[in-house]
Amino acid sequence: MTVSHVGPDNRPRMVDVSAKAVTERIAHARSSVRFPADVLPGEPGGEIQTKKGPVFHTAIVAGVMAAKKTHELIPFCHPLAIEDCKIDIELGSDGVAIIDCRVKVRHKTGVEMEALTGASVAALTIYDMCKSLSHDLVIGETRLIEKRGGKSDYLSR
Instruction: List, by residue number, the catalytic residues.
Output: 128
User: Which neighbouring-strand residues pair with 155?
Assistant: 146
- DSSP symbols for 54-93: EHHHHHHHHHHHHHHTHHHHSTTPPP---SEEEEEEEE-T
The helix-helix angle for 55-68 and 112-130 (nearest 10°) equals 150
Q: Which amino acid is at 58?
A: T
Q: What distance, in Å, lies between the first and last C-alpha atoms of the chain? A: 24
Query: Count of CB atoms within 10 A of residue 13's CB?
Result: 12
